[in-house]
Amino acid sequence: MVELGQTVEAAHAPTPTNDSEAILFRQLYETLTELDCEGNLRGRLAERWEPDADARVWMVTLAPRRFWDGSALRAQDVVASWRTSALRVGVGRSPFCWVRPDRMRAIDDRRIEVALPAPMRDFPRVLAHPALAVASPRPGATWPVGSGTFMIAQATTGQLSCPPNPYASPAGMSERAPRLTIRMKTGSDPRDLAGQEPVVRRVWSRKAVSFLATRGLQVERLPWSRRYVLLLPDPVALTLDRSDIATVVADAEAEPTAMLGWKDAPCVELALPSDVEAGSAQEQSTGSETDSSASDGGSPGATERRLEVWSIANDPDAMRIAERVAARASASLAKAVVSNPVESIPFYSTLRAGRALAFVVAIPEELETTCEAPGELTTDAPWLLDGWDQWRRLAHPAGASGGSPAELERYLIESARVVPILRTGASLVSRPGLVGVRIDGSGLPRFGRAGWSGGSPLP
């Protein structure tokens, strides 16, 4: 039994919108490549990937695979799935600022050509992004079919029955793969696990983890985490104590941080399309509809900026951080500053225009998305790149440099437009004896080889 604490929607598959969907969809749908917990790249649905001379156009060849209904998984299915996901995620956001719907095509049933907006030698790592998992809808079916280790056989209110996929790759399964039962308990307290039947759950609350450990449950600290940062369209003299702000997320594995975590990114080059930088400059010069009042310095119009700290409404930690930052900003500026939790669409449209005092953003600290994080952040908030070219010229007076994730991190922090606040982490909690759970590059568990030592497989 695997318990999920958030709502799971079939309509979102295969692109997760929360932590619970990320865990479930990882069992059902596959990406073309994957990273293990040490950052090693290997093929999943793809068996080969080849760039042209400058790594701008890539040819990806699929392995012969099938969906869980037995139908062949074709290149056309991959392209259709990516285009659908791009509409949900947004073509300007990672990974679709790289894998663009109008720049991909199926050559035949097994080959896909992807033309990138800029050369990128690390493109195979982008193919491991969770948003590029492949699903295919079927008439009359609630859930799209996938090719993952498990399939959905029965769905009832609050529970899914997920037997092994008979067509799945044997690489991710044991000979006697478990049958998963997925139970959704929205809003439940993780500490309730102590009195339940054997169950597995990913838990972010440090208090809950400590409590469950004292009740004899098995706790495994998962790698990676997420970092919360404050984005400031117009750097202001705010007095912010990271330790003070971190206390509002005391329930999580929170610690103050002064970094974005890009210094040791595994990518060879900066994952920042050149036209993202050009787009930022173009919007500033033309006075686009999203920011018609931009000031001379390229910053969003300060006269229309709301004295608000924005966050996404379905992220409780971000909301708590925004409330604390708003309170501290009110005292620092001697003006009323309020927090404003909103849905993702208005959040990102306002973030792009920079029309608030500050924005709280979560940056996943995952191997599968680290290389895309700089591009995603600067695409969501193009005004962050104001001054980037000038900064690079000063940093490299002897010659041009394309920049690196570490350099971009240094620039963003020195410009005072990005203030790292804290980082959080999760643990996998289960009854003692759970073995065989593999953790991938997203810090997500895979249950294809899971079981109980000395007992029956995972129920």
Domain assignment present for 70: yes
CATH number for the domain including 347?
3.10.105
Do 256 and 288 fall within a single domain? yes
Q: What is the pLDDT of residue 298?
A: 43
Percent composition of the chain: helix, strand, coil (DSSP 3-state, to 5): 30, 25, 45
Do 78 and 188 fall within a single domain? no
Do 356 and 418 fall within a single domain? yes
Q: Are 303 and 293 in contact (CB under 8 A)?
A: yes
pLDDT digits 0-9 by tens, 111-121 = 999 999 888 88
Domain assignment present for 140: no
Out of 96-105, 193-202, 357-366, 435-444, pick the least confident. 193-202
Do 273 and 365 fall within a single domain? yes
Do 57 and 90 fall within a single domain? yes
Q: Which is more confident, 32 or 215? A: 32
Do 291 and 402 fall within a single domain? yes
Cα dist. 215→152, 183, 196, 290, 431 in Å? 33, 22, 12, 53, 10
Mean pLDDT across the chain, nearest whole number? Answer: 81
CATH number for the domain including 189?
3.40.190.10
CATH number for the domain including 81?
3.90.76.10
Domain assignment present for 403: yes
Do 256 and 398 fall within a single domain? yes
Q: Which is more confident, 400 or 438? A: 438
Residue 285 confidence class, pLDDT cut points 50, 70, 90 = very low
What value does the mean pLDDT take over residues 145-162?
92
Q: Three-state SS for 293?
A: coil
Q: How many domains does the chain have?
A: 3
pLDDT higher than 60, residue 446? yes
Out of 198-207, 234-243, 292-301, 326-335, pick the least confident. 292-301
Domain assignment present for 392: yes
Do 125 and 240 fall within a single domain? no
Cα dist. 304→38, 175, 221 in Å? 46, 62, 45
What value does the mean pLDDT take over residues 10-17?
92
What value, to the nearest 5°, has the Cα angle with vertex 18 and ends 14 and 19? 100
Collect all residues with Cβ–Cβ distance below 8 Å to 58 and sequence separation of at least 6. Answer: 49, 50, 51, 52, 113, 114, 116, 123
Residue 295 confidence class, pLDDT cut points 50, 70, 90 = very low
Domain termination site, one of 108, 132, 156: 132
Domain assignment present for 142: no
Domain assignment present for 346: yes
Domain assignment present for 139: no
Out of 41-55, 61-75, 178-192, 305-319, pick the least confident. 178-192
| β-strand partners of 338 | 308
* E-assigned strand segments in 122-232: 154-156, 159-162, 180-184, 201-203, 218-221, 225-231
Instruction: Copy the structure tokens of residue 235.
Output: 């750097």
Q: What is the pLDDT of residue 303?
A: 44
Out of 222-236, 350-364, 367-381, 396-410, pick the least confident. 396-410
Instruction: Copy the structure tokens of residue 34.
Output: 């994957």
Do 123 and 209 fall within a single domain? no
Residue 173 confidence class, pLDDT cut points 50, 70, 90 = low
Residue 28 confidence class, pLDDT cut points 50, 70, 90 = very high
Domain assignment present for 80: yes
In one letter, which amino acid is 182? I
Global pTM?
0.76
Do 207 and 230 fall within a single domain? no
Do 98 and 218 fall within a single domain? no
Instruction: Determine the Cα–Cα distance for residues 276 and 282; give it in Å rounded to an integer.
Output: 10
Question: Token match 């002064």: residue?
Answer: 258
Instruction: Copy the structure tokens of residue 284.
Output: 């500033």
Domain termination site, one of 104, 132, 160: 132
Range of the domain at 110: 31-132
Do 301 and 416 fall within a single domain? yes
pLDDT higher than 80, residue 458? no
Collect all residues with Cβ–Cβ distance below 8 Å to 330 and sequence separation of at least 6. Answer: 336, 337
Domain termination site, one of 98, 132, 166: 132
- Secondary structure (DSSP) of 203-217: E-BHHHHHHHHHTT-
